[in-house]
Chains A and B, each alone.
Chain A
Amino acid sequence: MGENFSLLSIYDRFADGCRLFATRLCIEIDRSFSIKQENEFRLGMESCQLPDTKSHQICFTNHIRAGFLFFMPVLFLGLICCAPTKKKSADHSITGHNLNVIYAKGFTICDFGKYRKVTVLDPWQQSAGISFEYYLVDRDNELPAELTGKEVIRTPVSRVICLSTSHIGFLSALNEIPSLKALSGAAFVSDPGVLKAISSKSVFDVGYDQGINYELILSLKPDLIMAYGVGGEVTGFINKLRDLGLNVILNGEYLEENSLAKAEWIKFVGAFYNKDQEAADYFSKIEKNYNDIKQKVATVKNHPVVLTGLPYKDAWWIAGGHSNLAALIHDAGGEFLWNENTSREAFVVSLEEVVIRSAKADFWINCGMVNTLKELLATDSRFTVFPQVQKKAIFNNNLQMSPGGGNDYWERGVVRPDLILADLVKIFHPECDSGKVFNFYKKIE
C-alpha cells in the first residue's frame, strides 16, 4: 500500500516538474518566434514614418505596418475597406478627421462616413494574426444596413468601465473622467478625480480576473467596457460579457514598443467619445514635446549606462532590449545596460550576472517601490557593492504615489511620455535644461 502511494505522489511531482520545464521551453520558443516576427514588423514600418499623408494612404500603410508578411488577409481586407473611403467621405463628410496613426501598431481607424471601423490587431502577448473589429456609429444616426451582424458600438459612449488603471490616463487626458462608472483595482488609482468618485461611491470596483463581479457590471449598464488581454484566455471573458449584451473592446496599449506609440492610443480611446480631433491634437502636442526633448540630447557625446529594476530574491527580471523602457533610456541620451538584447519582453538573469554588469553602469533607475537608500539595502544588504549605491546615482519612478499604492507613472505617464522623458534627461544630462522639477522620478538617498 505504502509503496503505491509514494509512487503515485512521486509520479505527480515528476509530472509537475515536466510541465514546468515544458512551459519554459514554450516560452523560449515563443520568444525567438516573436523576435523574428518583430523584425518583419519593422520591415513594414519603414514607410510609415512619413508625416501627413492623406487618410486613405495612412490606412493602407497602417495595414502594411501590421506586418504584410504575416497578415496578408488583413492587408487584403484593408485594401477593400479603404479603397472606397475617399469617395465616401467626400460625399458625407461627417467627421472629416484625418485618421492618422503614426507610431501605434496595435490599432487602425478607418472612416466610412456613416460609420468608423476600429480594428485592434494582436491585442495580447504573442498573438499573431488576430484582429477585432468594432464599428462605431453615432448615437443619432441610423444603423447602416451593411453593419447588421457586426459589432456595433454607438458613440459617443457615456458609461464606461475600465479594467486597467492605465486606461484612466486616457480618459483623464480627454476630460472624460465623468463617464467612468467602474474600474478594476480601485486601490491603485492615482487620479484625484477618480479617487474622489470612488470614495463618494459614484465609481465602483468590479474586481479582476476570476473575481470579476458580473452582476455589478450589469447593474451599471455600461455602454463600453475597456478590457485588456494578457493572453488568449481573455476571449472567454470577452464572450461572456458579450453574451450579457455588453460592448467590450480590447485595449492593447501596453504591448506597444515605445512610449509615443502607447500614448497614441489616445486616438483609439478618443474615437469612442467622438473626440477624434481632440485626441489627435492632444497627441501631436505630446509628440512635439517628446521630440523636442529628444532633439536636445541627440547630440550629446556621453551616453551614461543605465541599470533598471530590482530582483525578486536572486532572480532579476530585466526589461527587454527592445522594450518601451529601453527605448525611453535611448531617447533620453542614455545607454541601456542590456542594449544587445533584442527582446520586447522582460527576461530573467541571476543576481551575480547583474553584479558583474552593473560595474559599468552609471545610473540605476526604476527600482520597485523603494523610497530610500535604507529601504533598498534592506531588501538585500549586498547592494552596497553596486557602484550606483556608492555614487548615489539611483532614481526611482515613484514620486507620485497615491495613498493606496497606485503609481501615476503607469496612469498619467502613459499619456505623458514627454514628462517621463524630461525626467530621464534631467537625470542623465542635467546640463541639458529639461525642466526644473521631476514629474515622476525622485532621487533615492
Chain B
Amino acid sequence: MVSEAFIIKNNSSRAFRILLLLSLLVPLFFLIDLLVGSYYVSIPEILKAIFRSENADAQIVLIINQFRIPKAFTAILAGAALSVAGLQMQTVFRNPLAGPYILGVSSGASLGVALLVLGTGGLLGGSIVSVVSSWGIVAAAWIGSGLVLLVIVMISARIKDIMTILILGILISSAISSVVNILQYFSNESTLKSFVVWTMGSLGSVTNIQLSVLFPSVLIGILIAFFSSKFLDAFLLGENYARSMGMNIRFARMMVFLSTCILAGSVTAFCGPIGFIGIAVPHIARMLLQTAKHSLLVPGTILIGALMMLVSDVISQLPGSDSTLPVNSVTALLGIPIVIWIIIRNKNNGMI
C-alpha cells in the first residue's frame, strides 16, 4: 500500500489511543460548556432541564435548550469543520500556512454579508435601510462563498499547476477584500459595527433551526473529506506521483475544494469568520498522532478542532462575568501558545 510509505512513525496503536482519549474529552468539554455562562446553573439543574424539562424551572430550560445547547453544538461543528478544511488545504497545497480560508471562502462570504449589511449605498449612490434578518446574513454569506468556490473550481479545471491556483486564490480574496473595504469606508457607524461584529465570529447567535441546516452541511463536507482521505495521502507525495498512480488529479482536487468550501462556507455563514483553528489544529493533530495517514488525521483533526473550539467558547464566556469575549480572539490567544510549544518541542523532528 502506498500510504505505508510516508508514515513517519508507524505507530497506529498510539494514534488510536489518542483518538479514544480525545473522543472522551469532547463530551466532557461539551458538558463544561453547558455549565458556564453568565447565569449560574448547577449540573443537576442542567440534567433536569435536558431530560425532565416539564419539572424544571422554565427559565433554566429556556437558557439550556435555546442558548447553551445550540451554542455548544455549533462550537463542535465549527471546530471540526474548520480544522478538516484546513487540513485538506495544507495537504493539497503542501503548504503549512494554508488554512480553510486560503481559497477566498471567507472573503467571498464577507462580501456577501457586507453587501447585505452595509448596503450598496457607497457604490450605487443610494442607501438601503432595512433590518437584516439572520437568515439573510446566512444566505448572503453562502452565496458569496459559493461564487468563490465556482471561480476556484473553474480555475482548477483549466490550470494544472497547484501553486498557480494558490496564488490566484490569494489574489481573488485580496481583490474581494478591497471591495469589502470600500463598502466599509462608505457606511455609517451602526451598520459598520454590525458588520465588524460579524467579522469577529460568534457561536451564540446560531438558533436550533439554523443548527438543523448547519449540521447536515458540515456532515456532508466531512463525509467528502473522509472519502478523499486516500487522495489526500497521494497529494502529499506531489501531484506527479499521484498521477503516476492512476489518480484523476482534477477530480480529486475538485472533491477536496468542494468539501473545503462547504465546510468553511457553512461555518462562516452562520458564525462569521473564525480564525486560527483551521491553521493550528491540523499541525496539532499531526504532532499528537505522529502520522501522515489521512484516514487517521481526518478524525483526529475533527476531535481536536471540536475540543479547541469548546475550550475557546468556555474561555470566551469569561465565567463569573456578565460579558463575553469575541470567540475569534480567544481561539488565537489559546491556540498560539500551544502551537509554539509544540513547534519548539518538536524542532528536532522538523515536523512542519
Chain A residues packing against B (C-beta within 8 Å): 2-3, 5-7, 9-10, 13-14, 16-18, 20-21, 24, 185, 187-188, 211, 311-315, 347-353, 355-356, 359, 368-371, 375-376, 378-382, 385, 401, 404-405
Contacts and interface: CB of A to CB of B under 8 A. Distances in A.
Given A3-B352, A378-B133, A187 B202 contact: no
Given A13-B336, A14-B336, A17-B332, A375 B39 contact: no
Contact of A348 (B188, B198, B323, B336): B323
A349 B131 contact: no
B16 interface: no
Interface in B260-285: 272, 275-276
A24 B132 CA distance: 28
B130 interface: yes
Contacts of A369: 129-131, 190
Given A9-B97, A376-B131, A380-B134, 11 more contacts: A6-B97, A10-B336, A10-B343, A188-B188, A313-B198, A314-B203, A315-B197, A350-B204, A350-B323, A378-B133, A379-B133
Nearest to B197: A312
Contacts of B66: 355, 382, 385
Scoring B37, B126, B190, B336 by chain A CB atoms within 10 A of each residue's CB, the highest score goes to B336
B207 A314 contact: no
Range of interface residues on chain B?
35 or more
Contacts of A376: 131
Contacts of B317: 350
Contact of A350 (B59, B185, B276, B322): B322
A61 to B, nearest CB: 35
26 contacts: A2-B95, A3-B343, A6-B352, A9-B97, A10-B340, A14-B337, A18-B333, A20-B329, A24-B325, A187-B127, A187-B188, A311-B205, A312-B193, A314-B324, A315-B202, A315-B324, A315-B326, A348-B323, A352-B38, A352-B67, A355-B62, A376-B131, A378-B135, A382-B67, A405-B127, A405-B129
A350 B38 contact: yes
A185 B188 contact: yes
Secondary structure at the A interface, as helix, strand, loop or mixed, is: helix
A374 B317 CA distance: 30
Contacts of B288: none
A7 B339 CA distance: 9
A326 to B, nearest CB: 17
Contact of B332 (A13, A24, A380, A401): A13
B124 to A, nearest CB: 12
A351 B134 contact: no
B336 A382 contact: no
Nearest to A372: B131
Contacts of A315: 197, 202, 324, 326
Contact of A351 (B67, B95, B325, B326): B67
A369 B333 CA distance: 35
A314 B202 contact: yes
Contact of A370 (B67, B71, B131, B325): B131
A144 B95 CA distance: 73
A378 B38 CA distance: 25
A303 to B, nearest CB: 23
A385 B185 contact: no
Contacts of A17: 329, 332-333, 336
A4 to B, nearest CB: 10
Interface string B181-209: 00001001010011001100011110101
Contacts of B63: 352, 355-356
A313 B204 contact: yes
